[in-house]
Amino acid sequence: MSEIRRDRLHNQYVIIAPERLHRPDLYPKGMSSHFREYTNKIDKPLLASRCPFCEGNESLTPPEVFAIRDNEANAPHWKTRVVPNLYKAVQVELEDKSRRNGMFESIPGVGAHEVLIDSTCHDCGIEGLDTQSIENWLRSIIIRIDDLKNDHRLVHFSIFKNVGASAGATQAHPHTQILALPIMPQSELTFLERNLQYYRRHGRGKVEDILENELTCKERIVEELGSFVAFCPFASAFPFEVMIAPRRNIKSLEECSRDELGELALLLRHLFQKLKQQLGEFDYNLFFRLPPLNSNFENEPYMDYLHKNYRFTIRITPRIYRLGGFEIATGMAINPVSPEECASLLNSKEI
C-alpha cells in the first residue's frame, strides 16, 4: 500500500509506493552498466595512464592548491590532492558586482570550484578505502573549508560526490567536488528560515528532533557509532537513501574533534560496505549540508543561531531508479522501497 509522507527537514512530500518496484522495464539499464562493461574490457594500466587523477599523471591537472603528502607539490606519492576544476562553473578571479537590465539581474560567475581527488586508487570506492584514507579525505575537506572561508565574498559551500553515469559523473576515478558561491541557494535560505522558526517554538533545531525521533523509533536506524547515527529518513526520496547526523550540535564538519572524525570515517566505510552488499556496484550522489561560510545580507538573520540550532548532515542517495515526468513536474519523489525495508536489509548482514 502506498503512503504520502512529509519530509519535515525540507518541507516536501514523498510518495512511498512499493507497488512500483514491480513495474516492467522494457528499456536497457542506464549508461552506468555499459560504462562499467566498457571499462572492464580496457587494460587497467592503459586506463591509469590516461586518467588525470591517477598517481603519476599530476601534470594532466592544474597545479594543486592542497595535498596531503610528505614531498614536493605536483609530484607522485600523495594521499589526497585538491586541484582547480579544469571545467569550472565559477571563478574566484572575477569581481563580485551585480548588473541590472530592467527587471533582470545577474552577477559574474564568482566563486571557487575545486576537485578533491579522494585517493590514489582508481578503482576504490569509499568501501574499499581504509579508515585512515577516509579520514584524510574528510581532513582535506575541512582544510579547504577553512581556507575558502577567508574570502568573505563566499557564503555558501556545496560539497558533493557524483559516482557513476546515472549520478552525473564524467570521471571514473573517485573524486569530490567543492563549490563555494557568493549567493545562498533559495532552498537553503528557506531551510534556515524554517529551522529558526522551529527553534523559536521548541528551543531545538530540526535535525536534533528528527534524530531524537529516529533513535526512539529504531525502525530506520542503520548504525550508531560514537558521536554519529546513520538512518534511512522517514520520507526518503530515493531507495536506500541514508542520512548521517551527529548526536550533538556540531554545526559544521570542521568542528569535529579528531576522535569524532575517526568515528565518522569508520561509519562511512561501514555504510558503503553495507550498501554494496545489498546493491552491488551502484551509482550514487553524496553531499554534505553545511552552514553558511560567511555572513551577507541574505543569511545575516540566521548567523547568530547556528551554534544552537544547526547540525551538519551527510546524505547518500543511490541512483538505482530513473526519475520521470511526475518528479520533474511536481518536485515530489516516488520511492518504490520503504525506508523501513531498506534499513532492515542494510542491517541483515554483518560487515
Q: 282-293 pLDDT, tens per residue?
A: 999 999 999 999
**What is the per-residue pLDDT for 264?**
98
Distance CA 11, CA 194 (A): 9
Distance CA 335, CA 344 (A): 16
Count other C-beta atoms under 10 Å from residue 19's C-beta: 9
Query: What single-letter DSSP state applies at residue 89?
Result: S
Residues in the chain: 351
End-to-end CA distance of the chain: 32
CB 274 within 8 A of CB 349: yes
Count other C-beta atoms under 10 Å from residue 121's C-beta: 14
Which portions of the chain are predicted below pLDDT 50? 24-43, 46
What does the domain layout of the chain look like in residue ranges?
3-92+106-346
**What is the per-residue pLDDT for 22?**
58
Burial class (CB in 10 A: 0-12, 13-18, 19+), 194: middle
Structure pTM? 0.88
**What is the per-residue pLDDT for 50?**
84
**What is the per-residue pLDDT for 101?**
79
Burial 255-289 (b: 16+ CB within 10 A, else e): ebeeebbbbbbbbbbbbbbbbbeebeebbbbbbbb
**What is the per-residue pLDDT for 28?**
46
- With residues binned 3-state (H G I as helix, E B as strand, rest as coil), the percentages for the chain, rounded to 5, are 35, 25, 40
Distance CA 120, CA 71 (A): 15
Phi/psi of residue 162, nearest 5 degrees = -110, 120
For residue 197 the three cell numbers come to 522558526
Q: Is the CATH number of domain 3-92+106-346 3.30.428.10?
A: yes
Distance CA 164, CA 35 (A): 9
**What is the per-residue pLDDT for 332?**
85
Burial class (CB in 10 A: 0-12, 13-18, 19+), 149: middle
